[in-house]
Amino acid sequence: MKHSHLNIYIVDDDEDVRRSLVMLLHAQGHALQAFDSGEAFLAQVDVARQPGCVVLDLRMNGISGIEVFDQLLARRSPLVVLFLSGHGDIPLALEQVKKGACDWITKPSTPQVLAKLGPALELAAQRARDHRHWELLTAREREVAPLLAQGLSSKEIARQLVPECGFRVVEGYRAKVFEKLAVANAAELHGWVVRNRWLSPA
């Protein structure tokens, strides 16, 4: 199945909801792990490096889905989040989308899960590719990349970061950043950085 290599994590303290989602998505051929709390999920999954999709309940006993999401943002996780929310929590769910969540699902809604999971996995696959590319950059190249994306010249970047080396060294960084992130110019790099705000320090 397409994107079957990507894990889906179900995080919900309602056993009936977890079981229903596991049965539904397992039948679709997805690799799944289910957790009954945000604490268990964060303790057992390497969220900073593991790509995939999290179907995350907005309100849970213990730490909430929002607190889990904040942890994912703080750790620059590549995981894509789909929030599960009750009808009364729709405004709260929309706030999380503005913060970077992929989408939200009103539960229980099997058709919404199936409809929204596909785009979420597409995004997860793209993030996985971008994450691999980002890991190729050196620490200095990661500093240079967002400045290049802002349209700063090599001389301007050299003044900010490496005045002792000069702009020719920055030109070398520029070439490496473009090559490793598979972009052709600063405009494409700007799009890359915007798309990966979860990852880039910019």
What is the residue-averaged pLDDT of the chain? 89
Residue 164, SS3 per DSSP: coil
Please tell me the pTM assigned to this model: 0.82
pLDDT of residue 91: 83
Query: What's 201's DSSP letter?
Result: -
Fold of 7-127: Rossmann fold (3.40.50)
Low-confidence winner among 26-30, 43-47, 68-72, 88-92 (lowest mean pLDDT):
88-92
pLDDT of residue 57: 93
Mean pLDDT to the nearest integer, 3-18: 87
Nearest Cα to Cα of residue 173 among 145, 202, 201, 200? 145
Q: Which part of the chain is CATH 1.10.10.10?
A: 136-195
Q: Which part of the chain is CATH 3.40.50.2300?
A: 7-127
pLDDT of residue 1: 47
Residue 4, SS3 per DSSP: coil
- What number does CATH give the domain 136-195? 1.10.10.10
Q: How confident is the model at residue 51 (pLDDT cuts 50, 70, 90)?
A: confident
CA distance 86 to 93: 9
Per-residue pLDDT of 89-102, as tens digits, reads 888 888 898 888 99
